[in-house]
Amino acid sequence: MTIPDSGYMMENGSIELPCTPEEEARIIQELISKAESNLREGNTYYVISNRWFRDWQRYIGKPLGAYPFNEDATQSQPFLFPNTASRPGPIDNSDIIIREIDGESDDPELIITLEEGRDYVLVAQEVWEKLSEWYKGGPALPRKMISVGDAKQLSVEVFPLCLNLHDTRDRSHKVIRLSKKASLHELYSIVCRLKGIAPEKARIWDYFNKRKHTVLVASDQTLEDSNLQMDQDILLEVQAEGLLPSGFGFDSTGNDLALVPVEPLRSSVTIAGGPTLSNGFSAGYSSNTYQGSSLSSTYGDIEDGYDSMRPASKGERGGLAGLQNLGNTCFMNSAIQCLVHTPPLVEYFLQDYTDEINKQNPLGMHGELAFAFGELLRKLWSSGRAPVAPRAFKGKLGRFAPQFSGYNQHDSQELLAFLLDGLHEDLNRVKQKPYFETKDSDGRPDEEVADELWRYHRARNDSVIVDTCQGQYKSTLVCPDCNKISITFDPFMYLSLPLPSTVTRTMTVTVFYSDGSGLPMPYTVTVLKHGCIKDLIQALESACCLRTDEFLLLAEVYEHRIFRYFENPTDMLNSIKDDEHIVAYRLPKNVALLTRLEISHRYQDKCIIDSSKASERKLFLTPLVTFLEDPRNGVDIDFSVDKVLSPLRRKAFISPEPAFKDGAENGSPLEKIEEPMNSCTIQFGHEDRSMEYTEPVENSSRGMAFHLCLTDERGTCCRPVVKDTVIQPARMLKVILDWTEKEYELYDASYLKDLPEVHKSGLTVKKTKQEAISLFSCLEAFLKEEPLGPDDMWYCPGCKEHRQASKKLDLWRLPDILVFHLKRFSYSRWLKNKLDTFVNFPIHNLDLSKYVKCKDATESSHVYELYAISNHYGGLGGGHYTAYCKLIDDDRWYHFDDSHVSAAAESDIKTSAAYVLFYRRVKVQQNGVVGGPSSNRSS
C-alpha cells in the first residue's frame, strides 16, 4: 500500500490524513484563545524553532509574524499570505539546540543567544500537543511560566539557570539546569540524588569565579534570591564519617578548587557608617527590620569580595575597576559606569547617605535599590582595579524591574531611566507629600507660572537626583480649531533627542488611474516618520494633483497580488517597510455605490492556451483596480478591463512610451525596461483542478476582447468569463486576465513591471554613514513645533473635544547634570531599525544659552562639558555596550568594556556608537573663561 505524502502511518497500520490548512488554523486559534484565558504560574509552554514555524505559517496561509494570532487578523484579513507552500515536514528544533557531543540528551540545551520572534516562538502546551500530533518531530522543549519581580509578572523561563557543580572528592564537573525560582532545598535534593549522598553530609558553596563566598544553606530561599548567576560554579563538599573532607586546612582559594571552609565575613559597622542589622535588605523585607537610620546587609547582599570594613573614601587610582559581564549585562555595566563616574553622585554615596533613605515611599523600592547602588559605587571607587561582579545589584534590579531580569540584551538608556527614577524615590527626603491643585496659566507671565510649578514639584520631590539631574521645560499646546493655548512647565530627567533623519521619511508610491485616463506614475513624498496613512494620502494627493471628485486607495502589492489595502486612515506608517511595494489607485468618491474590480495578470509559457496546461499559468505584472457601474454580464467586465488598459495601448509607427523605474522623478517616466517573461516564479493554482476550463477558450471567449476568469478571495478557484456570464451584485469582483500574444502586441506591459520600493534602504545606509549631524541639530529637532500623533490627542478645554494639537517644547531650567539620549533605535510591530549616524557633539564648552527661554539673571551658567558616554556598537539583537568615562581628578578619559578598562585619548571618544551623553555644568567667569564644575544646589 502506498502512503500519501500528506498522511501519517498509525501504529495499527491505518493512515491519519491531516485536516485542511484552514481547519488547522481554526483549531490552533481556538487553543490559543483558551490558553490566553488561563494564564497562571506553572503553565507549560514549548519552544519551537521559528524556521519550522514559518514554513507552517506559509502552509496555512497566515502572514509572517501573525503568531500569536488575534481575532482581527483572523477575521478581517483571512489567509492573506499566498497559500502556495506544501505541507511542512516533522517539527525540527535542531537549529536552536546545542548538539551533545556524547549523543542525544534527555534535556537538550538551547543556544543562549536565541531571541524570541527571531529564532523561536513559544506555544502553549495544548498547541504543542496538537502540532506534535499532526507533524511529530521535535525534540520537545518544555518551559514553565514563572512570576518575576515584586509585581509577580508572568513570564516563560526559556533559559533555566545553569550551574557548574564541582565535587571536591574527585574534582569532577557536572552541569545542572533548574529554574531560578527553585529553592535551595531543591538544589540540595538534585545534587544529593545525582551524587548518591545523604543531604545531611552535603555542603554546597557559592563558588562564583572559583572562589568560596557563602555556604548555600538548604532552605526555601530561591536560587535567584541567592544571587546565583547563569553558568556560575557551585562547590560540593561531602563529610565522611563525621570528619571534614580530606585536604581541609589548606587554603586554596585561587583558580583551583577551594578546600578550606571560609565563613562569610560580618562587620560590626556598615559601609555607610551605621550599626549592623542581621538581615537588612533581604528579599523578605519588613519595615520593622530597620531601626532609626541604620542600614546594613548580610555579606551575601553586598558586592562579591568587598570588605565592608574598608573606609568609605576614594582609594588610590579609584574609579578604574571594571564590571564583570554576568551574561549579556554589558548594557547594565555601561549605564552603571556612567552613573558611578558622575561627580555629585560619587560625592554623595561616599558619604553617609543612610539618613536620607526613604523606606516608606510607596513609589520606591524600600531603599534597597539605593543601598545596592551605593554599595556597588563604593566598591568601584575603592583602591584597586580588580573587576567587580555586580551580582547583588543585578539581583535587586531583576526583583524591582523584571524587564531587566534574565540574560537577554536590553537598552542602556531604558535602564538609566529606571535607575534615576528609582534612586530618586528611594532617596526622596519628602516623607509626606503635600497636595497642590495646579492652576492654568491664564495669561500670567511665564516666570511666575514656571516658578510656581517648580516649587510644587520640589515640595513633593527632594533628593540628590532632583538636585543634580532634574530640569524643567516649557510645553505649549495650541488647538487647531479654537486656537486655545495651554502652557505647562514640566520636570525632566534627561532629553531624548531624535536624529533629524528619523523625524521625516521619504516614501515612493506608484499612482494608477482607475478610469484609464493616464499612465501610472511613481511619486516620492516626505512624511512624518511616525505619521499615519492619512498623512501619506494627503502628501500624494498634492503631488499627483488629485481631483476633488477622487480619492486614493492605498494597497501593498506582494508577488503580483494585492496583499492588503490600507483603508484605515489612522493606521501608522511604520507598518510599511522600506522594501515593500505600495500603490495608490485613483477612484471616484462615489465608489461605495459602485462595484470595485480588481484585475490580476497571468501569462503562460509560450502562450499555450490549453486547459490541460492550466498549471503553467503564472501571475505577473501589477494588479489594477477599476470600477463597474451596475455590472450585469461578462461584456461589462470586458469593457472595463479594456478601458483601464487603454493608456498602455501601443500606437502605430510611434515607439512606445518609456517605462518608469526606481528613482524616477515625480510624474516622469524613465527608461523602458525589457525583462523576459519567464522571470516570474509564482506558480498559480498548481494543485487546484477548478482552474481547468470546461470548454475550449476560443469558444468561451467568442465576442470578448480578453481571456478573463472570475476568481475568489484566495485565487484558488477560477471560472472563465464569457459575454453571457451573469454577474451577481457584489462590493468587489476579482478577475484574472490571461495575456496572449495579442495582448503583448497591443499593450506595453513594461508600465506594469518593476514597481519601485518604498525606500531604497541600501542607498540610505550609505548616505547616513557619510553624513554627520550636530548635537545642536538634534536638539532643534526635539524643540521643533509639530502636531501630536493620532494616538496622543489633547483634550481641548475650549472645544471640549480631543484635538490633534500642535506642540512646542522649550528649555526653561537646566540641571547641573544634563543627559542627552540619542534616539538611534525605532521599534514597531513591523519595523526595527538602528541608525549609525555620526553625531558631532562638543566635548568642551557646550553652550545652550540660546535654547533656554528663562531669562532670570540669577540662573546658573548654561555651559557644559562632557564627562561620560554610553556607547552601542553593532545592530539590533547582536550589539555590545561600552562606556567612556572621564576621571575628573586626573583629567583623563578611560574606556570601560565590561571587565576591561583602558586609557583613551580624548580625540577617540567621538564615534557613531555614542548613544547617551552625560554633561556637567561648568562655571563661566566674568571674563568668559571656563572654570571648574558648578556645585551649587538647586533650590
Active site residue 802: no
Active site residue 544: no
- Residue 886 burial (CB < 10 Å; 0-12/13-18/19+)? buried
Listed residue (869, 873, 871, 875) closest to 834, CA to CA: 875
**Sheet with strand 521-528: strands edge to edge:** 521-528, 504-513, 581-588, 550-558, 561-566
Print the SS3 string covering 44-66.
EEEEEEHHHHHHHHHHHCCCCCC
Question: What is the C-alpha to C-alpha distance for residues 693 and 699, in angstroms, rounded to an integer?
Answer: 11
Residue pair 884/895 in contact (Cβ under 8 Å)? The answer is yes
CA distances from 590 to 507, 627, 695 (A): 28, 10, 38
User: What is the secondary structure of 278-306 as a DSSP string?
Assistant: TTTT-SS--GGG--TT-----GGGSPTT-
Listed residue (43, 113, 33) closest to 73, CA to CA: 33
Question: What is the C-alpha to C-alpha distance for residues 729 and 631, in angstroms, rounded to an integer?
Answer: 8
Identity at 337, one-letter amino acid code = Q
For 846, the enclosing helix (H) or strand (E) is strand 846-847
Number of residues in the chain: 939
Question: What is the C-alpha to C-alpha distance for residues 235 and 228, in angstroms, rounded to an integer?
Answer: 12
Torsion of CA 185, 187, 192, 193, to 10 degrees: 100
Question: What is the C-alpha to C-alpha distance for residues 304 and 395, in angstroms, rounded to an integer?
Answer: 13
Identity at 383, one-letter amino acid code = S
Question: What is the C-alpha to C-alpha distance for residues 469 and 916, in angstroms, rounded to an integer?
Answer: 14
Q: What one-character DSSP code corresponds to residue 525?
A: E
Q: What Rg, from alpha-carbon coordinates, does the chain have?
A: 34
User: What is the secondary structure of 260-281 as a DSSP string?
Assistant: S--PPP--SB-TTSPBP-TTTT
For 803, the enclosing helix (H) or strand (E) is strand 801-803
Q: Which three cell numbers stand for residue 223?
A: 536560587
CA distances from 450 to 454, 472, 477, 487, 925 (A): 6, 8, 16, 10, 27
The HSE-up count of residue 256 (CA atoms within 13 Å, CB side) is 7
Which residue matches cell numbers 516608606?
360
290 Cβ contact partners less than 8 Å away, ≥ 6 residues apart: 277, 280, 359
SS3 state of residue 637: helix
Question: What is the C-alpha to C-alpha distance for residues 652 and 636, in angstroms, rounded to an integer?
Answer: 27
412 Cβ contact partners less than 8 Å away, ≥ 6 residues apart: 331, 332, 334, 335, 870, 872, 881, 915, 916
Q: Phi/psi zone of residue 534: left (φ > 0), alpha (ψ -120 to 50 degrees), beta?
A: alpha
Which of 166, 192, 213, 330 does the annotation list as catalytic? Answer: 330
For the annotated catalytic residues, the residue numbers are 330, 880
